[in-house]
Structure 1
Amino acid sequence: MTASLLALSTGHYSLEFEPSDMPSVKATILDQFGRPEIQQYGFSAEYRFGGSSFTFQGEWDEPCFISDSDSGDDILRTIYQVLSAER
């Protein structure tokens, strides 16, 4: 499992991981926050789970979830902690 939680210039976070880790990321989201609502927009998508909204980008084999809120940052931290424990 290779995941990283990067601080953005916006003050929020991006959870980045390898494409091969997507099943673990999806399982963690389902286990911790339930089934996400997904709206696809070309090269990106909006995921809504845990009461927050995230931008998902998966092009160039570098998928990531990007938060734009404090509550979203907390959710990404939780996902990152769960994924890090799986290493």
Structure 2
Amino acid sequence: MAITILTLPNGHLSLEFDVIDLPNVIAAVRKHYGVPLIQQYPVLAVFAFGGCSFTFQNEWDDPCLISSSSDGDEILNKLCAELNG
């Protein structure tokens, strides 16, 4: 599956990818923004990088990074373009 962007009802974005793509997503984040700060919770994690926070979920082996800001949306678009390029 290709890495895709999904527009959420609140207008922000979700970077959708397969479990097998997770190492590549993390590598792209580290390449451009350094090691993300991660706060782990029972059903999700919050990743902080690039001055933004992203919700990371991996329900049913269907991981995604969810933005809650316009700056975060821009970061996810850039990551998606790079990972699919």
* TM-score computed with the length of structure 1 as normaliser: 0.95
1:35 maps onto 2:50 in alignment: no
Post-superposition offset of 1:42: 0.5
- Partner residue, 1:45: 45
Q: Deviations over 1:51-83 (max 9, x none)?
A: 000000012010000000000000000100110
TM-align CA RMSD: 0.8
Q: SS at 1:2's partner residue?
A: coil
After superposing on structure 2, the runs of 4+ consecutive aligned residues of structure 1 that deviate more than 3 Å are: none
| 2:65 alignment partner AA | F
Distance 1:32 1:77 in 2: 13
Q: Distance in 1 between matches of 2:49 and 2:34?
A: 7
Distance 1:18 1:70 in 2: 24
Superposed counterparts of 1:1-40, under 5 Å: 2-40=2-40
Is the counterpart of residue 83 in structure 1 residue 83 in structure 2? yes
Please give the alpha-carbon distance, in whole angstroms, between the structure 2 residues aligned to 1:36 and 1:71: 16
1:62 equivalent in structure 2: 62
- Structure 1 unaligned residues grouped into runs of 5+: none
- Give how far 1:15 is off: 0.2
Query: What residue identity is the alignment partner of 1:63?
Result: P
Alignment length (residue pairs): 85
Where structure 2 has 5 or more consecutive residues not aligned to the other structure, the ranges are none
- Residues of 1 paired with 2:52 and 2:62: CA distance? 22
